[in-house]
Amino acid sequence: VIPNKTVEEILSTARVEDVIEDFVTLKRRGVNMMGLCPFHDEKTPSFVVSPAKGLFKCFGCGKSGTAVGFIMEHENLTYPEALKYLANRYNIVIEEIEISDTERASKQLSDSLYIINEFAAKYFNENLSQTEEGRAIGLSYFKERGFLDKTINHWQLGYAMKEGRSLTQTAISKQFNVENLKVLGLTTQNDNDFFRERVIFPIHNLSGKIIAFAGRILTNIKTQPKYLNSPESEIYNKRKNLFGLYFAKNEIRKTDECILVEGYTDVMTLHQGGVENVVASSGTSLTEEQIRLINRFTKNITIIYDGDSAGIKAALRGLDLVLKEDMNVRLVLLPDGDDPDSFFKKNGTEKFKQYIEVNKKDFIAFKTDLLLEENGNDPIKRAEILRDLANTVALIPDAIKRLTYVRELSTKLEIDEKVLSGEIEKEVNKHKRDRAQQIQREKIRESRLSGESDVTIERGEDTISIKPVEVNPDIYQERNLIRLLVTGGDTALEDQKELTVGAYLLPILKDYLEYFEDPISKKIVEFGIQQLEKNKKIEPKDFLYNADQEISKMSVDYTMSKYEYAKWEERGVYLQTQPMPEKNFKKDTYQSILRFKLHKVKKDIKEIETLIKLPDITEEQKLIDIQVLQALLKERNDIAKELTQIIY
Ligand SMILES: [Zn+2]
């Protein structure tokens, strides 16, 4: 358990924008920052970070929270784990952590998988220096490729022994679960080591944890594949990972460019030589998920192909995806016979960078040249080329960019601009229809997730219609009061400062606790009462940073009000300091509590009226009921009168 004062230190040190920027590129918009949401697919940013409030919220998918909440969500951690993550990031020492038995028992599978991978990486790495075989085969291979000790340690490179069970046996002797070793693919179903007599490259996720391994064989056994990769598991999805991204992400953000190469050693050689914005798609052709991953850090991808790479045309087809994401793709072809590794070693850092700069070609220009070179003289093929390129250009969301390409292509293809634009617009209109449907779907999802939902969706044959939904008035009233409490609990209600919104509301709400219909609102009131009794005051941060995630989440949602950021899309600007209607706490508080009371009284009245009408009621009971009813009616009238008297 983390001591309270350490929790407070962590919460006050962690800056939401720093923590999020480890994963998402943020751009300043007035007092806020914005970026592409890491929790859903989007092309225009709707992910808002408010450094002043210490909160984030995505107006696309509705995810919101504090720095702690972000880490919990993004890294799939529990609350205490997220605190430990932040403590680690800010070098805050946690004095005592006693994990209870139940906590240990409930540790997630993924946790133990990471621990096993960490152990395996260390084991493979130690083989390099501590075994004769490892030194003779593994280390000498890495040295031959020119890797320095610091590079070998940085990437946690290793060697898997020839002997068939050495890793598995060591793991078992250290009490690791064999089943989990099998889940990770480190151990085969027959209890043998999966990687044998191979040099090992650990594969890290975005937060630097090892999620898989790649092993390269060094002997010339033809029956064995050159590279062997860990199978996919709970923690490894190869479509969603790029080799080296953890080590490259900061440099990618800084240079605003991501260089993509094919091999692991290419990545490491370039990093060692000071070109650190380099990643590899590790054998697979670039996936949509990988492109989005890059898109979180930069819009500019430069892909380096080996001069003799056969599959360039096939690879180009995959790149249409990148255009759709509105990213800029450039391609560089290395001289025949060179791969990035060998080319870099021949030329050194400066010449390498220069070559890339001079030779990188825009994707569409590259594709056009390639297609024309192959079949440019055949008139039938030319028509095909035209359609192919029109399809590609149509994928670009930006109309002005498309226009630039029309000019360029019409010159190259010797075709009238109008013909070409006509061809492209046909395709664009098709995409637009698809996109409109997509946006409608996103809007519906947003309204469902945001909690401000006042719509319901009905699916007919083919159409989706949106209808207003009936909001439960009890829950609405309760949440309205919760909104005031969590956003303005420490605001002075009257001119004299003693009475705050929280100190006024909570004692009243305490009397109504049993009437609450919304469990989260009730929980917030209960917490607020405790806090007020203990500290004699209540502040927004008490709710926002609450260890109870339901409390925290609801408070964040009310604090990061959509109203503040409304219509930014249409105006092209992000409003930051528009005053919110709830800033008028005084009027709002009095009104809300009276409406709340009024509603509850009306409900009681209805209930007692049905009781009186019951057939088997005694005369005596009826009399009592009538008296209660009269009292309630008077109360109702008093409240209603009071409501009309509130001065605006
Ligand atoms: Zn989102």
Residues 350-367: tens digit of each pLDDT: 999 999 999 998 888 888
Name, of 146-155, 279-288, 328-337, 530-539, the range with top average pLDDT.
Answer: 146-155
Cα of 548 to ligand 1 centre, how many Å?
A: 22
In the chain, what percentage of residues exceed pLDDT 70?
85
Cα of 502 to ligand 1 centre, how many Å?
A: 32
pLDDT for 591: 85
Cα of 48 to ligand 1 centre, how many Å?
A: 10
Cα of 45 to ligand 1 centre, how many Å?
A: 9
pLDDT for 315: 66
Q: Report, as an integer, the average pLDDT of 320-333.
A: 83
Residues 50-74: tens digit of each pLDDT: 888 889 988 888 888 999 999 988 8
Residues 289-316: tens digit of each pLDDT: 888 889 888 889 999 887 655 557 666 7
Residue 32 backbone dihedrals phi, psi, to 5 degrees? -105, 175
- Taking the C-alpha atoms of residue 182 and residue 538, their distance in angstroms, rounded to an integer, is 51
Structure tokens at 208: 């630097």
Cα of 315 to ligand 1 centre, how many Å?
A: 30
In angstroms, what CA-CA distances link 493 with 362, 385, 559, 585, 608? 61, 71, 19, 7, 35
pLDDT for 496: 62
pLDDT classification of 509: cutoffs 50, 70, 90: very high
Q: To 10 degrees, the CA torsion angle through 265, 270, 274, 277?
A: -100
Cα of 61 to ligand 1 centre, how many Å?
A: 4
Cα of 39 to ligand 1 centre, how many Å?
A: 5
Q: Is 305 helix (H, G, I), strand (E, B) or coil?
A: strand
- Taking the C-alpha atoms of residue 332 and residue 363, their distance in angstroms, rounded to an integer, is 10
Cα of 583 to ligand 1 centre, how many Å?
A: 27
Pairing of strands 32-35, 47-50: antiparallel
pLDDT for 438: 60
Provide the β-strand partners of residue 492.
500
Weakest-pLDDT range from 2-6, 7-11, 536-540: 2-6
Cα of 64 to ligand 1 centre, how many Å?
A: 9
Angle between helices 67-75 and 549-559 (to 10 degrees): 120
Structure tokens at 1: 């358990």
Cα of 550 to ligand 1 centre, how many Å?
A: 19
In angstroms, what CA-CA distances link 190 with 174, 187, 200, 233? 19, 8, 21, 18
Cα of 329 to ligand 1 centre, how many Å?
A: 25
Cα of 457 to ligand 1 centre, how many Å?
A: 20
Total Cβ atoms within 10 A of residue 22: 16
- Burial call 225-238: b when 16+ CB within 10 Å, e when fewer: eeebbbeebebbeb
Q: In sequence order, which ranges of 155-287 are alpha helices (DSSP H)?
A: 166-173, 178-183, 245-255, 264-272
pLDDT for 467: 44
Cα of 262 to ligand 1 centre, how many Å?
A: 31
What mean pLDDT value characterizes the chain?
A: 82
Cα of 325 to ligand 1 centre, how many Å?
A: 16
Cα of 281 to ligand 1 centre, how many Å?
A: 25
Residue 457 backbone dihedrals phi, psi, to 5 degrees? -110, 135
Cα of 57 to ligand 1 centre, how many Å?
A: 8
User: Cβ distance 49 to 129 under 8 Å?
Assistant: no
Q: Is 34 helix (H, G, I), strand (E, B) or coil?
A: strand
Q: Report, as an integer, the average pLDDT of 460-485.
A: 66
Cα of 545 to ligand 1 centre, how many Å?
A: 21
Q: Report, as an integer, the average pLDDT of 546-552.
A: 88
Cα of 40 to ligand 1 centre, how many Å?
A: 5
pLDDT for 7: 87
- Taking the C-alpha atoms of residue 332 and residue 390, their distance in angstroms, rounded to an integer, is 23
Cα of 72 to ligand 1 centre, how many Å?
A: 15
Cα of 468 to ligand 1 centre, how many Å?
A: 24
Weakest-pLDDT range from 458-462, 484-488, 573-577, 594-598: 573-577
Cα of 47 to ligand 1 centre, how many Å?
A: 6
Angle between helices 519-535 and 549-559 (to 10 degrees): 90
pLDDT for 527: 95
pLDDT classification of 169: cutoffs 50, 70, 90: very high
Give the largest Cα separation in the chain, rounded.
105
Cα of 451 to ligand 1 centre, how many Å?
A: 14
3-state DSSP: the chain helix, strand, coil percent, rounded to 5?
55, 10, 30
Cα of 370 to ligand 1 centre, how many Å?
A: 39
Residue 125, C-beta contacts closer than 8 angstroms, at least 6 positions apart:
152, 153, 156, 157, 158
Weakest-pLDDT range from 335-344, 399-408, 422-431: 422-431
Cα of 330 to ligand 1 centre, how many Å?
A: 28
Cα of 41 to ligand 1 centre, how many Å?
A: 7
Among 444, 440, 463, residue whose Cα is nearest residue 455: 444
Cα of 438 to ligand 1 centre, how many Å?
A: 15
Q: How far is CA 220 from the centre of its chain?
A: 43
Cα of 290 to ligand 1 centre, how many Å?
A: 17
Residues 585-606: tens digit of each pLDDT: 778 888 889 989 888 888 888 8
Cα of 71 to ligand 1 centre, how many Å?
A: 15
Among 307, 312, 311, 315, residue whose Cα is nearest residue 342: 307
Residues 405-462: tens digit of each pLDDT: 888 888 888 888 888 888 888 888 877 776 666 655 555 544 444 444 444 444 444 4
pLDDT for 440: 57
Residues 78-113: tens digit of each pLDDT: 888 899 899 988 888 877 555 556 555 545 677 789
